[in-house]
Amino acid sequence: MTADKLFDGLQICARTKCHPDRCGCVMSVFLDRGQLKDAAKRLLEKKYYIEDVTGLDVAEGIEVLYHFDNFDNPGRIVLRVLTGRENPEVPTISDIFSGAQWHERECFDFFGVKFTGHPQFRPLLMPADFTEHPLLKPEKNRQSLYEMLSGCEKVSPAKGERYCFEAPPAPEPPEASAPKDAGQSQTEKKE
C-alpha cells in the first residue's frame, strides 16, 4: 500500500504530499484530536514505527507532530494535531505505540501539552515543580503554521475542529473601463 492510499476511509481533516528534499517527509496528515488514534492504528497495521512526538508553537495554537517511518516502504509521514494554547491537550497514542510514552512526556515538558490517558504522565526532563515550558514562544515570535508549509503541496480546502484550510478567494472581476469623458462636467466638455 502506498502512502497515498494509507488513510483512505479515515475521517481526516486534510492531507498533503510533501517534498522530502525540502521538509523530510512524504506526507502531512492534518487531524482533529478524535481522529488521531484511528490514524495511528492504521500506521501500526502497516508496520510503521514512531520516530518522535514534538510540538510547534504557532499563531493558531500548539501543533503536535508525530513522525512515523517504515523500513519496507521508507518515507516519513507526519500526523499533525492542532490544539488550543489555553488548555493544550490531545489523547495519548502510547497504548498503540508504547515508544510514544517518553516522547509525549518530553512534549509536555517543553510545550505544556497534556496527553490524556497516558499511563505514567509526569515530567520527563524537567523538575516536577517546574511550571515554565521552555519552547513556548512570545506571541510576537509565533508564525502561522500555514506559512510554514512551503515544503508541501497546497492543502485542499478543508475545515476541522481547529484546522481551516480555506478555498482561495475568487478573482475579482476586472473593472469596467470608463469612457474617456465620464469624469468631465458638461462645461468642461463644451470647451
| Region for residue 122 given its phi and psi (left: phi exceeds 0; alpha: psi -120 to 50; beta: otherwise) | beta
Give 124: exposed, middle or buried? Use CB within 10 Å, 0-12, 13-18, 19+.
Answer: middle
In the chain, domain spans: 14-156
Give the separation between CA 49 and CA 43, rounded to whole angstroms: 8
Predicted structure pTM score: 0.82
Angle at 180 between CA 179 and CA 183, to 5 degrees: 90
Is a pLDDT exceeding 90 seen at residue 111? Answer: yes
6-62 residue pLDDT tens: 888 888 888 888 888 888 888 999 999 999 999 999 999 999 999 999 999 999 999
Give the separation between CA 66 and CA 39, rounded to whole angstroms: 11
Instruction: Given CATH 3.40.630.10, say whether it is the number of domain 14-156.
Output: no
126-172 residue pLDDT tens: 777 877 888 889 899 999 888 888 778 888 888 888 888 876 666 77
Q: What φ, ψ does residue 66 adopt, rounded to 5°?
A: -115, 120
